Chain A
Amino acid sequence: MAPAAFRVLQGQARDAADSDVALVAALRRGEPQAELAAWNRFATGVDQTLRRLLGPGPDREDLLQEVFIRFFRRIGTLREPAAVRGFLTGICVHVVRAEITRRQRRRWLSLTPTGDMPEPAPIFPDLEGREAVTRYYRMIDKLGGKDRSFFVARTIEGMTLDEVAAAHDVSVSTAQRRINRASKRVAALVKRDPMLSHFARAGAMEPV
């Protein structure tokens, strides 16, 4: 048999964690294509994280871009390459916190509740759930930038207490204290809203 002069390289996908590490290494080496690869891999996840942290509303492409701008700028500071997704979530938390602060400033100066131009109300099937969530976020927004960030990161984004503390650069006990305080306040606000209170209790009772 003739000796083989060619070798086939198979385009096998690698284990997700290994790929993240390799991608971080490529980003740190400054390979131009690595940034696009990072975008392809993480953009959808970041987009969803931003949606959870911000609540319903129009697409915030500017925030998504801001997350990636910071990510590419700070990739050199990431200590553990395998934790790149947590690193991105931390950036999301900071970006959203800044956005909420900006909104609160604009709300004080402007007429709309969020500081943004009002959007036409879209038609969605789950109107009750959507209405409840919109009200829920409105109450969360009353917490103020810092407490809101702690609360949303823990309860909606589902970060662990350690992750919340690390993302906000505070101790675990401080994070816990802020979350507890925010939770009590949000729960009190929800109980004062009959629709929301009913929805929450009905939702909790529903077999899932």
Chain B
Amino acid sequence: MPGRTDDEVIIGALSQEARQIAVEDAGPGPTPAVWHRLQERRARRSRPPWRGLLLAGAGMAAAVTLLVVARGVQRARPVTYVVEDAAEQDGYIRGTSNGASQVRFSDGTHVDLAQGARVSVLSRGPRGARLRVEEGEARFDVVHLPRAAWSVEAGPYVVYVTGTAFDVSWSGASEVIEVRMRSGSVQVGGPLLPERVTLRAGQRLTAKLASGEMLIGDARVGGGDGRAAAGDSAPVRTAPNGDEAGEPAPAADTVAPSSPSAPEVAAVAPAPSPAPLPPSPLAAPAPAQEQPSASPSPPAPEPAPAIAAPSPAVRQPSISHRPAPRVVQVAFAPRTWSAITSGDAARVVEQAEAHGLDKTLLEVDSTALSALADAARYSGRPEIAVRALTASRQRFPKTPFAHAAAFFLGRLADDRGAVAEGLTWYRRYLGETPDGPYAAEALGRKMLAVERISGREASSSVAREYVTRFPNGTYMLQAHAILATPAP
């Protein structure tokens, strides 16, 4: 190789191999359980790295500690609560039929549960608690105290509270959250929100996961789908950073879906015919997708969606384009999220299998399906993950879940050596959501897949695109390596 010494050639070749092995060993990456353990480690980490300084200041610290401990004993007690006129069962607090169910906390905060609503207290601290609306509606009156820290989870959403009054309702079946503000303000974070959104008194947020709609408006306006009637109060425009611009919202804003790439969705090959859910794509792979070929094949058509997704320009209730099966609440839905984040992914898979995997794949909602796929991946059950992801794409086409499923199907195929199939899925994902959350990863993996199948020269255009779009991306080194090597 001209211009390079023998030493450089040797080291270059071995270093390249080392990078390759690192990529092969990478797998699906750290699981949420690692994050959970990191949090635990941080919480119990009592020995700071500056031990020497600590020892030197120990005398002074001891005196201060005495004072702090004396005051801390009072402050560090977590809030306590009592349940009134509600049933407690399996960690849930369930609103009873008389409508007077209430959870009262020691700081004066109280939560009123609607009939049939289920709430759980996930954790308690000195300044607040983490609550979860598992199902139904609950009214929160959080006492505003200095440094109060309350949060309310509902589905994948979190409402951050310091002191205010608001109502939260969550339906696992239709995957709809509604937050109605009565006073004060809260912040809401979760899917479809680039950042937390601040809600103030009188506002209402409605998020429909299945259709990807996120609506913020006047809480006084009625209507199940959040549609405003003529003569309603002035609309509130809320920017993603939570600042209110105070401008009237344009009429067209009321009906846009959340997918930023709706036109590209149409480019996906049309489905030939409706098809039932496959028993297992791993068990019976399609030969054209499993066998790496000399040149990457174009994306193969997918099984047809059961019911067409709504047009980008027309609002449709999210529930209308799903097969409306019986939704399994017992095994899945709300609890699944906490099970996964607490590192108990295996339990989620067990629940699905106990219920019957085929049945589960047909019955659960898109959130639970996505959670099942995650759980299967995290617990080393790729065959179940593939089935869940495939079901997600078939049952909830053109939703964020379906788009993400394309990426994960590619990654799973990649991991089991089906490079061509992986490439097909990456292309499909990038076609559906060019700026989606996994775009960088998908493009990087696409680049490597093209290199493997068709050689370095063929992958150079993808490498160039990667370097341009993601100059600090994970695959930057490989992209530069591809671009730096002259074509043979």
Residues of B within 8 A of A156 (CB): 15, 18-19
State the Cβ distance, B101 to closest chain A Cβ, in Å.
29
Bound together, the chains give a CA A202 to CA B146 distance in angstroms of 68
Bound together, the chains give a CA A1 to CA B228 distance in angstroms of 11
Within 8 A of B (CB), among A135-170: 136-137, 155-158
Bound together, the chains give a CA A55 to CA B255 distance in angstroms of 52
Is the pair A44, B474 in contact by a Cβ cutoff of 8 Å? Answer: yes
Asked, given contacts A133-B21, A183-B11, A200-B10, whether A6 binds B216 with beta carbons under 8 Å apart, the answer is yes
Residues of A within 8 A of B254 (CB): 4, 6-8
Is the pair A48, B23 in contact by a Cβ cutoff of 8 Å? Answer: yes
Is the pair A184, B194 in contact by a Cβ cutoff of 8 Å? Answer: no
Bound together, the chains give a CA A39 to CA B194 distance in angstroms of 16
In the complex, which of the residues A8, A39, A207 has the most CB atoms of chain B within 10 Å of its own CB atom?
A: A8
Asked, given contacts A8-B255, A12-B194, whether A45 binds B474 with beta carbons under 8 Å apart, the answer is yes
Residues of A within 8 A of B271 (CB): none
Give the A-B contact count at a CB cut-off of 8 A.
226
A75 within 8 A of B: no
Asked, given contacts A7-B217, A11-B194, A208-B456, whether A85 binds B11 with beta carbons under 8 Å apart, the answer is no
Interface size class of A (residues with CB under 8 A): 35 or more
Residues of A within 8 A of B226 (CB): 6
Within 8 A of B (CB), among A166-208: 183-184, 186-187, 190-191, 196-197, 199-201, 203-204, 207-208
**A interface residues, Cβ below 8 angstroms from B:** 1-14, 16-17, 20, 22, 26, 31, 33, 36, 39, 43-45, 47-48, 51-52, 55-56, 61, 64-65, 68-69, 72, 85-86, 124-126, 129-130, 132-133, 136-137, 155-158, 183-184, 186-187, 190-191, 196-197, 199-201, 203-204, 207-208
**B interface residues, Cβ below 8 angstroms from A:** 1, 6-26, 29-30, 34-35, 37-38, 41-42, 45, 158, 160, 189, 191-197, 212-218, 221, 226-233, 235-238, 240, 248-251, 253-260, 400, 417, 433, 435-437, 439-441, 455-456, 469-474, 477, 480-481, 485, 488
* Shortest Cβ-Cβ A-B pairs, 9 listed: A5-B228, A2-B230, A44-B29, A7-B249, A187-B7, A11-B192, A6-B217, A203-B13, A51-B22
9 A–B contacts from the bound complex (CB under 8 Å): A2-B232, A7-B216, A7-B249, A9-B258, A11-B258, A48-B22, A72-B42, A85-B472, A158-B480
